[in-house]
Every structure is written in C-alpha cells, then in structure tokens.
Amino acid sequence: MENLLNELTTFRKQLAVLENRNIALKTQLAHILQYHFDRSLLDRLEYFHTAFLQLDTRFEALKSELALHQAWLNEPDTNAINYDNIRAHQLHIWSKLNTMGSDVQKLISIFSDYLYKHFPAVAKDMI
C-alpha cells in the first residue's frame, strides 16, 4: 500500500508542475495584454486565454480525483479486490497526467511560436 501512497504523492507533484507552467503562460499573456496589446490579434489571444482556463478546469477535476483516491487509500479495510481497483484507478490517473502533460507541452509550443511571430521583443524575454 505504501507504494500506492508514494505514487499518489508523485502524481500531486507532477500536477503542481503542470499548474505552475499554466500559471506562467497566463502571466505571459497578461503581460502582453498589459504592455503590448494589439487589437487586431485579440481573437487569437482570446483563444489562448480560453485554452489556459480549460487547463485550470482539467487540473481541478484531477485534483478531485486525487482526493478521492487518497480517501480510498486511507480506508482501513483494503482487501485484494479494493487494492486491484485502487491500482486500476491509479493507472487511469497516470494516463490522464501524461495526456495533460502532452497537452501543456503542445500549448507551450503553440503559444511560444505565436509570441515569436507576433511579439518577438516579448518572446525573447519569456518562456
């Protein structure tokens, strides 16, 4: 059971890293809107804003799953069937984290390319 708890801790750390990356992206976007705003680019900037907020929603959903998972792990009566179910759920969480990690990396890449194309002076100081 201890290995499951250790994996859960690792999942929480991985999620925190992804959240911090998303915060950095939102901060960069806020900087652009505050100091380098070009109304003609508003549609694309709104797209990025929406994408960052959608990630926040996904992070919150996964946090809820992790909390539920923690509750299952704290159950005093963990028999073999429960262990198998908990392990299956943990693999599901691992898969979600990997997908989120890939999605965050794609968004970073797309946003970075966009910054270099439309805000080169800002892009060299960011990301």
Model confidence pLDDT, tens digit, residues 49-95:
999 999 999 999 999 999 998 988 887 676 666 788 888 999 999 99
Q: What percent of the chain has pLDDT over 70?
A: 91
Structure tokens at 109: 């890449």
Enclosing H/E stretch for 50: helix 42-73
Spell out the long-range contacts of 27-34 with Cβ–Cβ below 8 A and sequence spacing 24 or more. Answer: 28/111, 28/115, 28/122, 28/126, 28/127, 29/111, 31/122, 31/126, 32/115, 32/119, 32/122
CATH fold for the domain made of 2-123:
Methane Monooxygenase Hydroxylase; Chain G, domain 1 (1.20.58)
The pTM is what?
Answer: 0.87
Identity of residue 85: N
